[in-house]
């Protein structure tokens, strides 16, 4: 199963009763393990979580800390990029050259990198 297929499969478990916009994410860590996440909405909108954040949390809970590859899928006309907060989260755990595949349930795909999604990312080096 490809990373996009894993993201597509888990997307069905998203909890999106308000927007009806389900998103699935799959992260392959440097160890080769795949971690999954879905968006989880809440009636208090700011309290929801993004699929990418869920996959990152699962990765950390699983004992991995470095991202090797990412896939994100949604039912949209064109591939949807992660939100700004998730771009920063991806940058925290993945190098700039990590491939991010953005896909739609209709088969459209776009490949990019973490660095292209978030140029000038804030990092731990900025706090030295």
Annotated binding-site positions: 39-45, 50, 83, 86
Residues annotated within the binding site for substrate are 39-45
Q: Of residues 5, 52, 92, 128, which has the active-site annotation?
A: 52
Residues annotated within the binding site for Zn(2+) are 50, 83, 86
Cα(111)–Cα(105) distance, integer angstroms: 15
Active site residue 52: yes
Supply the DSSP symbol for 43: S
State how far the alpha carbon of 39 is from the alpha carbons of 12, 45, 50, 73, 128, in Å: 10, 12, 4, 11, 34
Phi-psi region of 107 (alpha: psi -120 to 50; beta: other; left: phi over 0): left
Are the CB atoms for 30 and 67 separated by under 8 Å?
yes
With H, G, I as helix, E, B as strand and everything else as coil, classify residue 67. Answer: strand
Bridge partners of 37? 25
Catalytic residue ranges: 52
């Amino acid at each position: 199963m490809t990373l996009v297929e894993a993201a597509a499969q888990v997307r069905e478990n998203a909890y999106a009763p308000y927007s009806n916009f389900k998103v699935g994410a799959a992260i392959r860590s440097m160890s080769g393990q795949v971690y999954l996440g879905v968006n989880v909405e809440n009636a208090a909108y700011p309290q929801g979580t993004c699929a990418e954040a869920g996959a990152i949390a699962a990765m950390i809970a699983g004992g991995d800390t470095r991202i090797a590859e990412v896939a994100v899928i949604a039912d949209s006309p064109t591939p949807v990029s992660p939100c700004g907060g998730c771009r920063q989260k991806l940058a925290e755990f993945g190098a700039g050259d990590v491939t991010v595949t953005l896909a739609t349930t209709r088969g459209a795909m776009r490949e990019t990198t973490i660095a292209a999604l978030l140029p000038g990312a804030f990092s731990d080096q900025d706090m030295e």
